Structure 1
C-alpha cells in the first residue's frame, strides 16, 4: 500500500481570485506542488511536501487573512 503522508490537506475559504496571491506566497516559500479544489465545498488545499508541517502552511495561509485548518 502506498503512503501518502507527504500530501498535506487543508480546509480553506480560498476562492479562484485568491490563487494568484497564494501562488506568489508559495513561490516565495519554494512550495511548487499544490492545488485548490474549488469544486469541493471545503475548498480543499493540497500541498505536496516531504518536509513541511501542517502548522507551517496554516500559519502562512492565515497570515494572508484566509481561513485554514488541517483536514483529517
Structure 2
C-alpha cells in the first residue's frame, strides 16, 4: 500500500463531489480524501499500484488542476 499526495485546485465540497466518480473509477484505490483546510487542497490516495500520472490526467480531464507533491 502506498500513499500518493497531490496539490489540487479543488476549493469546495461540490467540486469534490464532481470528481468523485472519476476518482472512484480508478483501479487500486482503497481510500482517498481531500483536505480543504490545507493551503494546497491536498488530495491523498491510498492505493496499490496506481500511477501518479493517471491521477493527474484523470483530474485534468475532469477540469481541475492536480500535481503530485514529493
Please tell me the TM-score bracket, short chain as reference. 0.7 to 0.9
Aligned with 2:21 (options 18, 21, 24): 24
Aligned-pair distance for 1:32?
A: 4.6
User: For the pair shown, which has the larger CA radius of gyration, 1 or 2?
Assistant: 1
Q: Equivalents in 2 of 1:28, 1:50: separation in Å?
A: 14
Question: Which aligned pairs between 1:1-72 and structure 2 lie closer than 5 A?
Answer: 6-15=2-11, 16-30=13-27, 31-72=29-70
Aligned residues, how many?
Answer: 68
Gaps of 5+ in 1: none
Structure ranking higher in strand proportion: 2
TM-score by length of 2: 0.85
How well do the aligned residues superpose, as a CA RMSD in angstroms? 1.5
Q: Equivalents in 1 of 2:26, 2:49: separation in Å?
A: 12
Deviation beyond 6 Å, 4+ runs, structure 1: none
